[in-house]
Amino acid sequence: MNKKNMFKELKSDLPASIVVFFVAVPLCLGIALASGAPLFAGIIAGIVGGIVVGIASGSPLGVSGPAAGLAVIVLTSIAAIGSWPAFLLAVVLAGIFQLIMGFAKAGFIAYFFPSAVIKGMLTGIGLLIILKQIPHALGYDQDPEGDLSYFQADGGTTLSSIASAFNSVTTGAVLISVIAIAILIFWDKVLIKKHRIFQIIQGPIVVVALGIMMNYLYQSGALNFSLAADQVVRLPVANSLTEFFTFFTFPDFSAITNFKVWEVAVVLAIVASLETLLCVEATDKLDPDRRVTPTNRELKAQGLGNILSGLIGGLPITQVIVRSTANITFGGKTKLSAILHGVFLLISAMTIAGLLNMIPLASLAAILIIVGFKLAQPALFRRMYKLGWEQFVPFVATVAGILATDLLKGITIGVLFGIFYTLRHSYRNSHHMKDVVTTEDGITVHHIEMAQEVSFFNKASVMMALEAIPANSKVVIDFSQSKSVANDVIELIKSYEINAKTKNINVEKINFIEPVYL
């Protein structure tokens, strides 16, 4: 992003960054708690993920920070290695491995995840967010924020936690969450259409401010309700700048000869990279402008972030879907939003941690429930069903897998179903692609003839061919010979057509198969 354009969308990026900041605080703390790490390690990872990765990344809307998917790995790895400082060395090494992967151009892996699986991932995460936030909205807060696995760290499950919540309702928390959800819906459906000021001042900011005010009224006795210590944000408070810097921890470099450190580093690098690439694909699909994130650059950015996070005592970092979705949902336009959220985390941790500890988790649960609903709207199930079994089965399998296990296992289940359908098609048909260049009125025209069978395995090569088309030219994409075209490729062409306008590329499609929706 050019410096002169950095603040171009500030009116949209600033309020979105504030919302992401409020969402990130409890998630950073909850993931640290679930990981068995110092609470401030989650905040450090959030700061580095926002500022450092935000600057280095090419993702316009992705937000990075500590990831729920790594919590179990971190928890078991700390115990296996024997100390937190030695584990931090593994984080640094994992970052170095990610840098190497980026320079080795391993980011192409992102293009091999089927579109139906990515949509299933988004829908599954949306449903999971709603289910996980119901206990927090009701005031039952045994499971830490950020835990996205069906089998929870507290020994329960997602469903048992909801059942327990209905048996342990806190009236004060319910009152806050109900009012908050009502405000968010009214803001989105009515106020935002009435005046531009309601687009600039986002509903979640009002919800958080109201939550702080209601908590204060509870504490002062003005309202006859109360919130327990585990029903509000719990950010470590530094009484001085000197004490603030004591929260940072440095790696134990003497553990460099410990084989377990290297083993954990390799596992962290692989899992963190996979989660990042999955999130990149999902975030790009949610981007209204259909911008494409350079995946190799993203791996380098994540590697840089993990090196720095490990050096100063932070958790491992990935691009994370919950914060990225919140960023898009509430109006983020450029990566300035992710950077600002990291700046706010840093400033708040140094100055206003006490005020942030007044924020009820019920207020944040309401915000996340709305985010979850926007990801998992019923209309998406109808659209996927209309596209046929080849799209619907992997989609549903991914959703069910995520809800019943965790993110990576759910994605694996969906990919296996996607591979089954692809192999069935590949068995029946071959594929090829040609590019013939001619001129027309002085303008270079690129003719791309699509094969009889175009599967999602062809997505990467099609994307690279289209990205190679120079600006100020014309491309003719001919589907005349195509008998079967994967929905992934169809969506890729549609997204490319939108993005091509920014490069002054004229796109002509012959016998293009438009997606069928209800």
Residue after which a domain boundary falls, among 327, 361, 395:
361
Give the per-residue pLDDT at 4.
55
Residues 355 and 473 in one domain: no
Residue 389 in domain: no
Residue 260 in domain: yes
Which amino acid appears at position 459 of this protein? K
Range of the domain at 458: 434-510
- The b-or-e profile of 390-422 (16+ CB within 10 A means b, else e) is bbbbbbbbbbbbbbebbbeebbebbbebbbebb
Helices (H), 39-170: 39-48, 54-56, 71-81, 84-103, 115-138, 158-167
Residues 179 and 43 in one domain: yes
Residue 429 in domain: no
Residues 332 and 476 in one domain: no
Residues 439 and 352 in one domain: no
Per the CB < 8 A criterion, the answer to whether 111 and 460 are in contact is yes
Residue 238 in domain: yes
Residue after which a domain boundary falls, among 361, 379, 394:
361
Nearest to 21 by CA among 195, 191, 233, 214: 233
Give the per-residue pLDDT at 463.
86
Residue 464 in domain: yes
Count of domains observed in the chain: 2
Residue after which a domain boundary falls, among 302, 326, 361:
361
Residues 60 and 197 in one domain: yes
Cα 410 from chain centroid (whole Å): 16
Residue 372 in domain: no
Q: What CATH code is carried by the domain that includes residue 469? A: 3.30.750.24
Give the per-residue pLDDT at 426.
58
Three-state secondary-structure class, residue 10? helix
Give the per-residue pLDDT at 431.
44
- Helix H or strand E encompassing 485: strand 484-485
**DSSP state at residue 213:** H
Q: How far apart are the C-alpha atoms of 438 and 473, rounded to whole Å?
A: 11
Per-residue pLDDT of the chain (518 residues; tens, 9 = 90+): 555 567 888 999 999 999 999 999 999 999 998 899 999 999 999 999 999 999 999 999 999 999 988 988 999 999 999 999 999 999 999 999 999 999 999 998 888 888 899 999 999 999 999 999 999 999 987 777 777 788 877 778 888 889 989 988 999 999 999 999 999 999 988 888 887 788 778 899 999 999 999 999 999 999 999 999 989 998 989 888 888 999 999 999 999 999 999 999 999 999 999 999 999 999 999 999 889 999 999 999 999 999 999 999 999 999 999 999 999 999 999 999 999 999 999 999 999 999 999 999 999 999 999 999 999 988 999 999 998 888 999 999 999 999 998 888 999 999 999 888 877 665 454 445 555 666 667 778 888 888 877 877 778 788 888 888 888 888 888 888 888 888 888 989 999 999 999 889 999 999 887 765 54
Give the per-residue pLDDT at 418.
87
Give the per-residue pLDDT at 2.
54
Give the per-residue pLDDT at 496.
93
Give the per-residue pLDDT at 518.
42
Residues 174 and 54 in one domain: yes
Residue 406 in domain: no
Residue 370 in domain: no
Give the per-residue pLDDT at 438.
67
Q: How far apart are the C-alpha atoms of 129 and 33, rounded to whole Å?
A: 18
**DSSP state at residue 376:** S
Residues 323 and 180 in one domain: yes
